[in-house]
Amino acid sequence: MTDQALPPIAGSEAEILALVQQPGPMFLAHTNLDLAQIRSGFACALHMHQPTIPAGAHGELISHLQYMFEHQGEGDNHNAEPFAQCYRRLVEIIPQLIEEGCNPRIMLDYSGNLLWGLEQMGRLDVLDALKRLACDSSLQPHVEWLGTFWSHAVAPSTPIPDLKLQILAWQHQFAALFGRDALARVKGFSPPEMHLPNHPDTLFEFVKALKECGYRWLLVQEHSVENLDGSSLSHEQKYLPNQLVARNSSGEEMSITVLIKTQGSDTKLVGQMQPCYEALGLGRQGLGATTVPSLVSQIADGENGGVMMNEFPSAFLQAHHTIAAKGGEQATVAINGTEYLELLEAAGVPASDFPTIQAVQQHKLWQQLGDSPALEATLEATTAAIADLQASDPAFSMAGASWTNDLSWVEGYANVLEPMNQLSARFHQLFDPLVAQDPGVTRTPRYQEALLHLLLLETSCFRYWGQGTWTDYASEIHRRGEAAIAAALAEGEHQGTAALWNESMGGRKVQAG
């Protein structure tokens, strides 16, 4: 690997975890909405991502956006600057609507390596715009940021020990750019590709990691979940918050609130503001002992495709003008996810009133395992039940579910997945004991360089475009990750781990974080 600066992805774990676990509402003090006057709402999110690839002039890691700028004649790379403008344009659109008497809302989901890439490129125009969207008090609660995995990994096929590393790396990156107060407000999570694990142990560890990292709710695709009896969510249920229960092979349970992203992956849904017009036709519905506004939740790529590049801004403006023109009592409103949930809580609607759901296909698994209390829940029993179901039911899968389910991030990608799992195992074998002994190890360059390549290898893009250039990128990242681990081992081979880390820190003793 060529010598280049590392992104801020580790080193402040204890401080960040303490920060994000602070209790209390984040948006309630700023909201200008009255829940009692709202009939329905819509919550729109924009997802932004550019992968990191080993394709710089000297093989260095660069953003794919930078590659687009440097290779304008390839494919659609002429869209590089329009993409860059899409990343910043909300800083103009939201204040314009506020000045025009509207009450806009938007949720933003930016991958960590997109944020790093913008830094690498020196795109201060974009970064300054994003900082205003994250930090300007006049834009709260109009703008809500959502957390995600740092390198756009897909959860079901990401090694379980790396789920929390991905989440924490994004939190480090976000805090480094926008400050810890801005990070403290990030309470919703947007999983890349809306890909929700349905294997009991992966889902349990995913939910556990989310909650340990301070997240209070998760956005999920409607067909990635089911009711506890195996039925699909009812039409009305899709417009309510639900409580997702994750139960692992040992019978342990955790739960997290979810908002349901309806329909498929067509960017036109947000690009043409369909959620707003759908919400206009909805009303309040019963939840527990009261009624609450129905909520239409949607997310789409914020820059990818002609609709989002060209049609979204005018459609977004028109939708907000439409609801503002109705005047009088607030009926249908734009509202962000955390704001909606905090208003419900303040109105006395507890999460225990939300419908309880689980990941899709789990009903079949629990049936196969049996409901007898005498049956001891074990990983072996769960594994056997999954194997039996896969053999007898062609429709059964424990690969999770994403926006459309017409694409696999597993089938045909053994040449990426096997190295990815090997690198993960080697990373944890070396570093976990060191970190347990001294948490300050996560601040060392050797740790961070190895972590960077591990996270990058898990990027979904290397298993999206088919075999060829993108899988070659993955092979090169894997090679560099193995080299980073080998270098760490070589330094410590005859010195012991303490000497290894003292040397990597220039002879200074590593202090615990």
User: Considering the domain boundaries, does residue 485 fall inside one?
Assistant: yes
Same structural domain for residues 160 and 283?
Answer: yes
| pTM for this predicted structure | 0.93
Is the predicted pLDDT of residue 405 greater than 90, yes or no?
no
Q: Which of 337, 357, 377 is the last residue of a domain?
A: 357
CA–CA gap between residue 467 and residue 35 (Å, rounded): 51
The backbone torsions φ and ψ at residue 11, rounded to the nearest 5 degrees and listed phi first, read 115, -15
DSSP notation for 420-457: HHHHHHHHHHHHHHHHHH-GGGGGSHHHHHHHHHHHHH
User: Considering the domain boundaries, does residue 486 fall inside one?
Assistant: yes
Spatial CB neighbours of 9, under 8 Å, sequence gap ≥ 6: 112, 150, 168, 169, 172, 173, 448, 451, 452, 455
Same structural domain for residues 343 and 367?
Answer: no
- Residue 329: is it exposed, middle or buried by C-beta count within 10 angstroms (0-12/13-18/19+)? exposed
Same structural domain for residues 346 and 438?
Answer: no
Average pLDDT on 13-26 reads 96
What per-residue confidence (pLDDT) applies to 350? 94
User: Considering the domain boundaries, does residue 403 fall inside one?
Assistant: no
Same structural domain for residues 113 and 47?
Answer: yes
User: Considering the domain boundaries, does residue 401 fall inside one?
Assistant: no
**Confidence band for 404, pLDDT divided at 50, 70 and 90:** low
CATH code for position 313: 3.20.110.20
Other Cβ atoms closer than 10 A to 316: 25
pLDDT digits (tens, 9 = 90+) for 351-364: 999 999 999 999 99
Same structural domain for residues 45 and 179?
Answer: yes
User: Considering the domain boundaries, does residue 398 fall inside one?
Assistant: no
Same structural domain for residues 335 and 428?
Answer: no
Average pLDDT on 243-249 reads 96
Same structural domain for residues 165 and 37?
Answer: yes
pLDDT digits (tens, 9 = 90+) for 368-382: 988 544 345 688 889
Structural domain boundaries enclosing 380: 362-392
Same structural domain for residues 351 and 372?
Answer: no
What per-residue confidence (pLDDT) applies to 89? 97
DSSP notation for 238-302: GGS-EEEEEE-TTS-EEEEEEEEEPS---THHHHTTHHHHHHTT--EEEETTEEEEEEEEEEEES
Q: Which of 341, 357, 373 is the last residue of a domain?
A: 357
User: Considering the domain boundaries, does residue 498 fall inside one?
Assistant: yes
Same structural domain for residues 345 and 314?
Answer: yes
Number of domains composing the chain: 3
**Confidence band for 505, pLDDT divided at 50, 70 and 90:** very low
Strands 284-287 and 225-227: unpaired
Same structural domain for residues 337 and 366?
Answer: no
Q: Which of 331, 357, 383 is the last residue of a domain?
A: 357
User: Considering the domain boundaries, does residue 513 fall inside one?
Assistant: no
Average pLDDT on 31-35 reads 95
User: Considering the domain boundaries, does residue 8 fall inside one?
Assistant: no
Same structural domain for residues 491 and 372?
Answer: no
Same structural domain for residues 306 and 425?
Answer: no
